[in-house]
Structure 1
Amino acid sequence: MESGTGTSSDQRMNAALPASYESQQQHRPWADLPADILGVAFGRLALFEDRARLRSICRAWRAAALHLRAPPPLPMLVLSDFSSYYSFREEATMTDASRSMPLPKKETAADAGTVARCVGSFGGWLVGVSLIKGRSFGDHGCFLTNPFSRGVVRLPPPSTSGRTRSVDASSSRRPCAMSFCKVVLSSSPADDTSSKCVVAAISVIKRAAKLAFWRSGMKSWCVCDVACITEFMDIVFCHGKLYMLGDGEFGPELFAFEISEDDSSGLMVSRVEHYAYEFDLPEVDVGTDWRLVEWRGKLIVATCTVEARVRVFEVDLSSDPARLTEMESLDGDCIFITPCSSRSFRSCDYDGFGGDLIYLIDGGSNHRPERFVYSMKDEAMAPFAADIPEDRLRALDGTFMNPTWLFPHQ
């Protein structure tokens, strides 16, 4: 029974507590948010920038985010000159331009008289090359940079006196000028010498193509002089090999390069396979641009016809000749393509993000739009990234500057 004062035991207990206790109970610190609730919130953030803001709230959130399992953030589009990047919204539209990507000062310092451009990506890493202002051709430097971890890996200058090795294992040292148009990586690079990442680059100067390789520890590029390399179309790593499409006399030609270690130069091309192929649809137009993509461990080819229809083919290398079979869907995935980077992405992790779509940005042809998204389900094309000003995609001389897709980790 309560005393005649009318004061309960709970009231007496609360009176003995600090005045701030009730406020603390009603407004618990954000750091005490349960991990399961934090995980739900983190997984709903599609943009990498939003996830970075969540991690910056406090140490507890930052530590928790390291152990959360969430789908990878949506892709980002980096302009060729690194001047800015655009994020991909969950509604499949692009955000306004964000701040520029942080770059290594040694390669891009204004007083160094160099200009940098982006020529490839892998995961959260970007590949950049620098050109000395006023120089007519030949890249001065090459580097890998992770704008999120601020990691930097500096590669040997592309234009230098390096070892040139052909398939027959003969080699020589002579000056070699290269201007990289696309660079691909076999795996994610590391900041130490233990990385087994192989870097492959295509150089094109005055329509003469060269294929160059590098791995950590090498002091120069290994340049492959192979007669089969004519006009370059695309390259991609898949199944432990480097696959290349070249523009042959009778249409695109497919090659596979096996890369092995060499005591003298570090890497060498030990074998080149040339694949003859046939289509299941003989009426396909083989005169259009082709792109190679690795999708779920399979090698696929995407091409856009003159009617602005994108067609996707799975490559079967087990048959002779190799067979290219047209695909009707990507099992809900999407493909993102630019001349500098091509990759598939699992889009079903995000509500409202359509599947079986191909996002393509390419300024190599005038007979089709440079920026569009193609639906494999509807066989319909729609404008894409139309909000990016045209002048942001062109150099001062009017030439198209290919942007690069970046796929950051969480």
Structure 2
Amino acid sequence: MAEEKKPHPQPPPSWSALRLDLAGLVLSLLPVYADCACFAAVCPQWRAAARQLQLPPLPLLALPDGTFYSLMYDKPFHFPGCGFSGYENVCGSWLIFSRDDGCFMVNPFSRATVTLPALSSVRLRPPNASAKSKWAEGGSVESANLYITWMRINEADNLRISKLILCSPNLVAALVGIGPISQILMCQPGALSWSVRAYDRIEDFQDMSFYQGKLYAIAKDENLLVVNISQDHSTGDPQVSRIGRVIEGDCPTWYDAVFEDNSSACKKLYLVESRGMLLMVRRTIWCQFPEPGGDGKIMGGQNEFEVFEADFEHSRWVKVSTVGDDQVLFLGRRCSRSMSVSQYGLPGDRIFFLDDDEDNRLDYAYDEEKTSFGVYSMRFRSIGSGDPNISWKRCAEMYLAAWLFPQDR
């Protein structure tokens, strides 16, 4: 009788042979950037799968002291190395730092660095601009104050970048000013100077967004402005050629008025691109004034949110009742984004927001000593707290808390 042949044992399949569809299922369960990075570090095949699938991880919550939080975990962590504390602004996946000889951007995920000019190095247009602008000549001091230009604030000690956008590899736009007023500056990454229209009036710009190849800014009056960009013929550097209004705002007149119960409404505006649309988010903070003659502070209270879509064809804002069943708007004064969250099993049609106050434009105080992020439901028109285990002290050093988006790396 012939000897029965035993089957030759097959080696177990290698993890590197994991099918792409299965790799996608694994990645969809890893909403945290650190977990996605560990997945990609297993082997070249998994790294290639992570690049090909490109599932965007949820944003991190960055704090100025170098602490970071993931929304799926409630324990803080720090990036190895310098720690990235002391940043002054955030742009997508970039942290912006300032020093005497210039500014620079650092991507904590890739460790890439981009240099920017110092705010003291600004190329004026026209080059012979002076603080005594043509609008102020022959007029009174009062009339000059009604038309404040860059030449009136450019040497201020508290000049700062309130918003910065890396529009393209060759274009950086920034809102630079003092307190609530600012001007639009531009430069190329690595350039030695910014460019500014010296005689344009300073505005109370609330936000700025690069949408479908164009730069837009929104002022406190809810006017949407388009910023036309040209090149300097002698240097090739980008510069603002013209700022025009594309949508006239229809802001309620009762903002900043004090009602009989000593309440008043403060407003913050945000521009966010979502599903191919440009949205304006109007955030109302109801404040309570002290009784007449009292020494108390103005206290911030309940938040309300309204969302509007830019209707460019009819030059108007159109109010919408939803941001999408699978969408979450992450709102922040420094950086805002819209993301699909359905692949992570999270409910959509919500707004995650920060207090994002600034020390030099703070209009009210708070009862609570600590703060965190809040969550607004568009569907139920209600506000809930964020993760109770994620919080930080409410103080000037921590005003610059911001969302950081790894998918922009």
Q: The TM-score by the shorter chain falls in which range? A: 0.7 to 0.9
Instruction: Describe the shift of the 1:238–1:59 C-alpha distance in structure 2 as closer, same or farther (beyond 3 A).
Output: closer
Contact 2:328/2:349 (CA < 8 Å) preserved in 1?
yes
SS for the counterpart of 2:35 is helix
- How far residue 287 of structure 1 moved from its aligned partner, in angstroms, is 5.0
Partner of 2:96: 128
Q: Map 1:23-42 onto structure 2 (within 5 A).
A: 25=11, 27-42=12-27
Partner of 2:259: none
Is the aligned partner of 1:346 residue 2:345? no
Partner of 2:297: none
TM-score (ref. length: structure 2): 0.75
SS for the counterpart of 2:270 is strand
TM-score (ref. length: structure 1): 0.74
Partner of 1:245: 218
Q: 1:234 aligns with which of 207, 212, 215?
A: 207
Contact 2:88/2:400 (CA < 8 Å) preserved in 1?
no
Q: 2:176 aligns with which of 203, 208, 213?
A: 203
Q: 1:316 aligns with which of 305, 311, 318?
A: 311
Partner of 1:156: 117
SS for the counterpart of 2:336 is strand
CA shift digits 1:37-90 (9 cap, x unpaired): 3332223321111111112223332234333x2431111122234x0211122x
- How far residue 360 of structure 1 moved from its aligned partner, in angstroms, is 0.5
Instruction: Describe the shift of the 1:287–1:274 C-alpha distance in structure 2 as closer, same or farther (beyond 3 A).
Output: farther
CA shift digits 1:107-141 (9 cap, x unpaired): x8xxxxxx73141223xx31412246xxxxxxx53
Is the aligned partner of 1:180 residue 2:161? yes
State, as a whole percentage, how many aligned pairs show the same letter: 27
SS for the counterpart of 1:50 is helix
Q: How many residues align?
A: 348
Q: Map 1:2-401 onto structure 2 (within 5 A).
A: 2-3=1-2, 8-10=4-6, 22=9, 25=11, 27-67=12-52, 69-81=53-65, 83-89=66-72, 94-100=73-79, 116-122=86-92, 125-131=93-99, 140-160=101-121, 162-165=122-125, 170-172=126-128, 176-177=154-155, 178-187=159-168, 195-196=169-170, 198-205=171-178, 208-216=181-189, 218-247=191-220, 251-265=221-235, 266-275=237-246, 277=248, 279=250, 287-305=266-284, 306=286, 307-319=302-314, 322-332=315-325, 333-351=327-345, 353-364=346-357, 365-366=364-365, 371-391=373-393, 394-396=395-397, 400-401=399-400
- Which structure: larger Rg? 1
- How far residue 312 of structure 1 moved from its aligned partner, in angstroms, is 0.3
Contact 2:356/2:402 (CA < 8 Å) preserved in 1?
no
CA shift digits 1:290-339 (9 cap, x unpaired): 111122232211012235221101122333xx321111111221110111
Give distance in 2, aligned partners of 1:171 and 1:326: 43
Give distance in 2, aligned partners of 1:395 and 1:282: 31
Instruction: Describe the shift of the 1:131–1:173 C-alpha distance in structure 2 as closer, same or farther (beyond 3 A).
Output: farther
- How far residue 272 of structure 1 moved from its aligned partner, in angstroms, is 1.0
- How far residue 103 of structure 1 moved from its aligned partner, in angstroms, is 5.7
Contact 2:332/2:356 (CA < 8 Å) preserved in 1?
no
CA shift digits 1:243-296 (9 cap, x unpaired): 22223xxx44432211111123512211111356255x9688585111111222
Unaligned runs of 5+ in 2: 131-150, 256-264, 287-301, 358-363
Contact 1:43/1:70 (CA < 8 Å) preserved in 2?
no
- How far residue 226 of structure 1 moved from its aligned partner, in angstroms, is 4.9
- How far residue 358 of structure 1 moved from its aligned partner, in angstroms, is 0.5
Give distance in 1, aligned partners of 2:74 and 2:199: 43
- How far residue 346 of structure 1 moved from its aligned partner, in angstroms, is 1.5
